[in-house]
Structure 1
Amino acid sequence: MSRFDFTFQQDSEDNTGGGDRFPSRLKEHDQWLVTQDKKPIVPSEGWQKSVNQLAFTEAQSKAEQLGGAVAFCFTEGGPFIGFDLDDVKEGGEFTNEALGIVERLDSYTEVSSSGTGLHIIAEGDHSDDHKHRGDLSEVGHLEVYDESRYFALTGDVYGGFTSVESRSTVVREVQDDHLPESQKFSFTGQQKPVSEQGFDGGKTGATPEQVRRTIEEYGKCRHTDVDHTRVIHWWRGQNGMKTSASEADMAFIEQLYFWCQGDQQLMDECFRTSGRMRPKWDEVHYSNGDTYGERHIRIACRRGDDEFDGRYVQ
């Protein structure tokens, strides 16, 4: 077979219609959503959190009931990476450049819902050295994600690439060849005014002092498994069993996600009133303008899958 002489074929497990069109490797993971017009409807919000994502069979059933489509979500720390080749047809045919990427990755490939793009899913990681999006040299562009994104899948398998394969080396090489390098960022210690830091919040109506007292009171109850001592130590500025202040910061913020019910604004206020607060919290540490505090709160919110559902001590 020549380099671009692809043929369509049916696979007995993954391409026989219905749910069997999708790779079994993906169906093993509870990382599915239901979409309509590429927008998530089940769940309609909070789809980034693993607790809200569905098993494949549940997603497929709901999609059939609602007239939607299933989508696979890429999650932080997961093994999968997605390549979205958009608008890569010219004269009614996929370009040689797009087909070259398909052949190199040699993993699950499908035609997108528009009919003019391709989805490729493999095992590998996005390179921090590259941006997520790049224009291709012929037509169209390529986007690459391994977390906080989803593909609305069609199951319209292309070229007989029916299974998800581990391609870590090639995944990196394709990014090297087709994605621009990330902007290099040098930390300058620049402070970002609090008024310019954007946090969602205000839903709890609680204060940092009420949160702190609630943690202490719940910790006194023998019928709970709350390790309030550890959290309060972090609140006071101690590192506890953590090897560094930064590691203790992250652990404390992840606890704040639970106790603040995911309220980013309240999480920020709690940290500012704690003994951990220092100028670093408001320093811009990332090339997109995020401060140390903004980035850590957003990471905690992506990871969090449980929230306090009791009443705050007044």
Structure 2
Amino acid sequence: MDLDDCRDPETGDVDDAALDIIERLDSYTEISPSGTGYHVLITGELPEGRNRRGSIELYDTARFFTVTGNHVEETPTHVARRQDALVAIHREYVHDTDSDVKSESGYRGTTDEQSATNGGGGVDVDLEDEEILEKATNASNGTKFERLWNGNTVGYDSQSEADMALCYLLAFWTGGDQTQVDQLFRQSGLLREKWDEVHYADGSTYGEKTIERAIANTSEFYDPDSGDESTQSHASSSTSTTDAGRDESDRSHAYLAEKNRLLTDRVDELEATLEQKNERIETLEAEIERLTEELADRDRETDRTHEEQAVTASESDDESETASVWGRTKRLFGSGSE
């Protein structure tokens, strides 16, 4: 993934959309050659549809890029598999859908038509916060809602994805009322300082843009005027059945993603261990070679010493024998003169 024009090379300030993508992909990331962008390398399959929008580009073939090695310290040093995060980011930032066109106007400053439909949702629910929370908690996917409401992000690659998931649910139950979604989200356990930070060039905050995307991508809203409680149960069950399927799919994807991540990390650890052992083997082989040569030198030195000792002994024997013959000769001639 190539992220352009999102970083100030002098101050190091980064556009929040780029930070969101980098955080969610959680894989090897480096600063681009110009210093004004990033490269994020991941393992995965590029979703169908367009592969670029604005300053965001995704490629898996037919492209070359310069590897700078200027690693972003807060990111992993290995290339990780991030299929689920890739699909989500592609859908939110790149994929060309009708909802993208609708959301171009932005969350800030709604039109009269949008106001008539509660900020673009299309259904006037007109329920108090407590009533919405009760209905959402008692729905078939109430367990998921309650988990997110309490700030539990288990099963999501990042808190940003958990934020979006809760906003999807709130968008359904509020009829797409942006103000009420924001009001409810601020009561949840997921609220953090980032919610009110301006992250986009149009002046939108992270929270505003998250709500905008959630409403734009929600195709069904709760309609209290469609019938009594039985109708409500039917509506809830129909949507929650889909949500339950999505929830099960989310858990399955989350499990597989986590399993792949653990396996990838384990492979990386084993490869690192194997590399260390190979280096150790090379060191030991070099030491064995050195010791073998040293032993051979000592053997040769010992052989030379033995040869020298043998020569010395032989010369000594010759001298002794000469002295012995001379002594006998002297004794012989000495006794003749007497």
The two structures share one fold, judged by TM-score above 0.5: no
Quick check: which has more Rg, 1 or 2?
2
TM-score (norm 1): 0.36
TM-score (norm 2): 0.33
Higher strand proportion = 1
